[in-house]
Amino acid sequence: MSDLFAPLADEMAERSRPLADRLRPKNLAEVTGQEHLTGSDGMLSRMLATGSLGSMIFWGPPGTGKTTVARLLANETDLAFEQLSAIFSGVADLKKAFDAARTRRMSGRQTLLFVDEIHRFNRAQQDSFLPVMEDGTVILVGATTENPSFELNAALLSRARVLTFKSHTGESLGRLLERAETLEGKPLPLDEEARASLVRMADGDGRAILTLAEEVWRSAREGETFDAKALQELVQRRAPVYDKSQDGHYNLISALHKAVRGSDPDAALYYLCRMFDAGESPLFLGRRLVRMASEDIGLADPQALVVANAAKDAYDFLGSPEGELALAEACIYLACAPKSNAAYVAYKAAMRAAREHGSLLPPKHILNAPTKLMKSEGYGSGYQYDHDTPDAFSGQDYFPEKMGRHTFYDPPERGFERDIRKRLDYWANLRQRKQATDGQDD
């Protein structure tokens, strides 16, 4: 009797598995959204074709298929697949995995060791992989959502190829939904707008869109179809994929800074609001706007720094949500302001010169002489008080004698710096004339 009901039990067990698990690809050709790696000309396909599978780091956002691809590689190369998570594993787990891999190797079979969240291992734990990678005990495939350049040892990175997994596009998420509908044998009960909204909610995460689709199917009554508003109420709104201490944070602040620098107020405002919406600290954004004002606008519009500081202070005074408007106003002002990094470039050049030339004494004519000894040494001798000279400009040299004159600040013909350029050119001409006159007097 038990045999009679076995198929039914198997079917029920299969149906109880999450949709994302039931849709897991059976081979690389079925992997969606990573065609640059798994397509016929993709890097992984080429590795399999040439039999040159080596250690790799899979870098990409959640739900892009990193674990699935690692399993498929092991299956298609007949490697033993062993999986660890750096969140739950320690030195003892690593040692056990390495010992098991050595035993398999003695019997002629290699091991593909998949380590999820590999960036969570500390430096010493990461170093423990080096010997077993070098002697071929394991082929390491590490998965990380964080930038490997920042989170992984240079020694580990030099022994593994980094492959980048991309967020799903709207098109590839749509294909996942179509496959899910084929598997379920029924369409997703969403109108066209709600379906597009579901794709946006997934935010490039394949696992997320299948989980959301499963919620929709479970909740829909017979003959019911959800519109976009009903869908939002049903599944709530997924928080944007954004970690304030990791790549999402750096990517968006970089995008905001570059949009301001590129004089695109619309894009700048969009990224500012993305970060507000994700819960970024408005004061952090205020500080970054101050930085942009001094780095990318500078003296082309001296008011930019004043506006950015005022917006930061306004937020500090008002708090949320009123204070965000002041920051948005500053963001728009900075994006629309004339741009110049001349002050920033001058600062960096002067800092380099200060470090290269060491502790050179300023020229003696601009040094005070509070004692008779210092006066006898020539301190203050020959100094000209600029206000007492024609045009209030003496043209004297203020650089250390051993260093000679340098030009650090070179303002462009933009914004307020046009006027500064005229002044500098005027003073340069006066200086040349005075030097020529002094030469004739000598």
Per the CB < 8 A criterion, the answer to whether 61 and 167 are in contact is yes
pLDDT at residue 268, rounded to an integer: 95
Judged against a pLDDT cut of 60, whether residue 10 lies above it is answered with no
C-alpha span between 442 and 352 (Å, rounded)? 35
Mean pLDDT computed over 156-175: 91
Judged against a pLDDT cut of 80, whether residue 14 lies above it is answered with no
H-helix or E-strand containing 100?
helix 91-106
pTM: 0.62
Q: How much is the CA Rg of the chain, to the nearest whole Å?
A: 33
- Token output for 373: 């000894």
Judged against a pLDDT cut of 70, whether residue 4 lies above it is answered with no
Judged against a pLDDT cut of 90, whether residue 164 lies above it is answered with yes
Domains present along the chain, CATH in parentheses: 34-164 (3.40.50.300), 170-235 (1.10.8), 247-336 (1.20.272.10), 361-441 (no CATH)
Judged against a pLDDT cut of 90, whether residue 72 lies above it is answered with yes
pLDDT at residue 1, rounded to an integer: 47
Mean pLDDT computed over 424-437: 85
**Band (11; pLDDT cuts 50, 70, 90):** low
Per the CB < 8 A criterion, the answer to whether 199 and 231 are in contact is no
Q: Which residue has the higher pLDDT, 268 or 397?
A: 268
**Averaged confidence pLDDT in the chain:** 87
Per the CB < 8 A criterion, the answer to whether 153 and 128 are in contact is no
**Band (422; pLDDT cuts 50, 70, 90):** very high
pLDDT at residue 433, rounded to an integer: 85
- Residues 86-133 pLDDT 10s: 988 888 999 999 999 999 999 889 999 999 999 999 888 999 999 999
**Side-chain-side CA neighbours of residue 246 (13 Å):** 14
Residue 417's closest CA among 290, 301, 336? 301
pLDDT at residue 13, rounded to an integer: 53
- Residues 200-257 pLDDT 10s: 888 788 988 999 999 899 888 888 899 888 888 887 655 455 555 556 677 888 999 9
C-alpha span between 268 and 286 (Å, rounded)? 13
- Residues 314-356 pLDDT 10s: 998 888 888 999 999 999 999 999 999 999 999 999 999 888 8
**Band (82; pLDDT cuts 50, 70, 90):** very high
pLDDT at residue 244, rounded to an integer: 53
Q: What is the dihedral of CA 33, 38, 43, 45, to 10 degrees?
A: 180
pLDDT at residue 307, rounded to an integer: 97
User: Quick one: what percent of the chain has pLDDT higher than 70?
Assistant: 92
Mean pLDDT computed over 396-402: 86
Mean pLDDT computed over 56-81: 91
